[in-house]
Amino acid sequence: MSAFTGSARDTASVPGAGGDLLAALLDGMDAALCALDAGGTVTHWNREAERILGWPAAEAVGRRGFDGWAARSADAEGTLARLMGAMRTPGRQVHELALLRKDGGRVLVRSQSAGVRGADGRPAGVYCAFSEVHAQIDLERSIALSEALFDDAPWGVVLIDADLRPAVVNGYAARAFGTGRTTLLGSPLGDVVAQGVEELEGALQHVLAEGAPPAPADLWVTPAAASGAGERRRRCWRSGFVRLASPMTEEPVLLGVAWLFQDVTEERLAAREADRTRFRWSQLHRAGAAAAEYADPAEAVAVLLDFALAGFADHGLVDRVAGDRRLTRAVASPAGAPDERGLGGGFPQRYGPEHPALQAWDRAGSVRVSAGRDAAAWAADRHWPADTAHALCTALRSRGRTVGVLTFLRTAARGGFDRQDALYAETVAARVAAALDVPPLP
């Protein structure tokens, strides 16, 4: 803008197609723009300026200053002086100005003005770009929010592009993945998530296609950055999604998905453990009430075992002491299940000297074991059902002595027994032992 004559639409100073091009560029700007020559006369006025203030270019161009039309008389000289001051100051000057709309309403704008010099190097005028303050504040808030989210936000933020690759990652998310922020950029999600990537990609594709779900969702994932498979831990990330579309186009253009999450693993595990404990003790209460109705100790034990198996194990075995390191099968649950490896009818079980049931007898406590790669052979050696993958044996103690061994068995579909499982099994064992070791009625 080397000269200041004409409006943005006629641009008399630039002949031919050049003038049309300049007019189109000025009118196509998102910001309002006006220009003033060295005497303070308006030389250019684009469509956005007309939209904000209501004054068309035909009425704005050629006026000196803003008095009597775009500013109150009390403010006009000061407004013009602040803008024209940019001719004598290097760089851009930012001001907030109170202007008048054509309909008489006042509007507060934020302006950026800079001086323009002519071909001889002398000040030739100023140009001023301005927008309504609330629009500028909204933009600044959006930028400030974005920067805050990607600095020290207390949750993970990951921007995923339309190809499902991380484009921006904040510090929390990088720590959750166990890697650096720049390391994740552009990587396929399968490279950073070892387990749960299918669920995550499915959620992202749904958001891209249908929009964000109405409520956050829990995603269980295993980050791939753990140093070894044994150290990997599944994490529960409470996740929310926002579909991103460009605000710069008439039709929405998808830019990707903003994924926000928090690690809630400990809370979810604690809630799960509380639910499990509540269910187990409810089962024990019901089992005790039901078993009390049976006069036959074997039937009472069977009832206790049936209740204890619910949600806990796939098979339950009660072996009774029948001499020096000999056990005989007293009860097997579920009733009628095929048990080709166990011997009923009062015959001693063919347990080897290192059998877990005998170890539990010797220790007067609990023994937990799991199969290796060849689970079928492992189960066959211990005379358990062929699908057994995990076992928990605990001694049945009553009146100061071991009266038998209680064994719980799980298939590979369930996880191995843990310490909390052993505590529960020992509680069940105490009730089974008491029912099994009932003195004969007089």
CA 349 to the chain's CA centroid: 52
* Cβ contact 70:60 at 8 Å: yes
User: What's the average pLDDT block by block, 10 residues per block, for the chain (442 residues)?
Assistant: 40 46 68 90 91 91 91 90 88 87 88 87 89 73 72 84 88 86 84 89 90 88 66 82 74 82 92 90 89 88 91 92 87 66 66 92 93 87 91 94 94 90 94 83 55
Rounded CA-CA distance 303/289 in Å is 10
pLDDT of residue 11: 39
Q: Is 89 left (phi over 0), alpha (psi -120 to 50) or beta?
A: beta
Q: What is the rounded distance in angstroms from the CA atom of residue 257 to the CA atom of residue 207?
A: 7
Tokens in use for 127?
């140009």
Question: What is this structure's pTM?
Answer: 0.58
SS3 content of the chain, % helix, strand, coil (to 5): 35, 30, 35
Q: Which of 352, 342, 363, 362 is nearest to 409 (CA)?
A: 342
**Which pLDDT score is estimated for 373?**
81
According to the model, what pLDDT value does residue 2 have?
Answer: 38
Helix (H) or strand (E) holding 126: strand 123-132
Place of tokens 């921007």: 159
- The alpha carbon dihedral of 305, 306, 308, 313 has a sign of positive
Residue with tokens 């956050």: 216
